[in-house]
Amino acid sequence: MLTSDPAWVAVLTHHNAETTVAERLRNADPPIECYLPMMVNKDKRLKHNPMQERPMFPNYLFARINDKQIYQTRTTRGVVCIVSSQHSIIQVPDREIEAVRMFESSQRKVFFHETSQLVKGARTTILEGEFAGMEGTLVKHCKDGNFCVSIDVMNLSIVVHVSRAELRPASDLRPEESKSQKTEESKSQPN
């Protein structure tokens, strides 16, 4: 449930209205903070400029609102609804927004899939690079491995290629963690 403290929510828009809705919300009185993640796609149908910037999540954008801005957001022209479940608005955690920002600014090749279409795999942690420390799901059908961060609110996932050498199972301990755990276990065992 939203309170007087602003929180991120997902806003469903009419088809191809994401940019217009984001602009309307930013220009509202009072203005509403919006985040419309974009990606560059190659459109093979276009000969002169095949690289096109498009919304990362078609028909969705994120808005940071409080309880007093619900009506203003819902009634903005082009908005279909604020994503909710059982009449309760679903808040998108800040860490998920930050993960999307990280992927958006990444120079790696990013793919998007419905979560329901992803092959279930092992939970993994990235060890190196710009995504070091992040956890996700390894999609097993790709030879290099795929790192997946889910945006569960919208049933979408972001998938980025990461080499297998950069991954470890999320449940595995790092060597230094393993040593310290063994030391603690040996201290706690009676002689």
Domain with CATH 2.30.30 in the chain: 94-173
Domain with CATH 3.30.70.940 in the chain: 1-92
Q: Are 74 and 60 in contact (CB under 8 A)?
A: no
Q: What is the mean pLDDT of each run of 10 residues along the chain (191 residues)?
A: 92 96 96 92 64 85 96 97 92 90 72 48 72 71 56 63 68 45 45 47
Q: What is the pLDDT of residue 91?
A: 94
DSSP type of residue 86: T
CA distance 97 to 85: 19
Q: Are 40 and 53 in contact (CB under 8 A)?
A: yes
Q: Are 42 and 59 in contact (CB under 8 A)?
A: no
DSSP type of residue 166: G
CA distance 41 to 98: 22
Query: CA 24 from chain center: how many Å?
Result: 23
CATH of domain 94-173: 2.30.30
The fold of the 1-92 domain, in CATH, is Alpha-Beta Plaits (3.30.70)
Q: What is the pLDDT of residue 100?
A: 87
Write out the two tokens for 157: 């996932």
Tell me if residue 57 falls in helix, strand or coil: coil
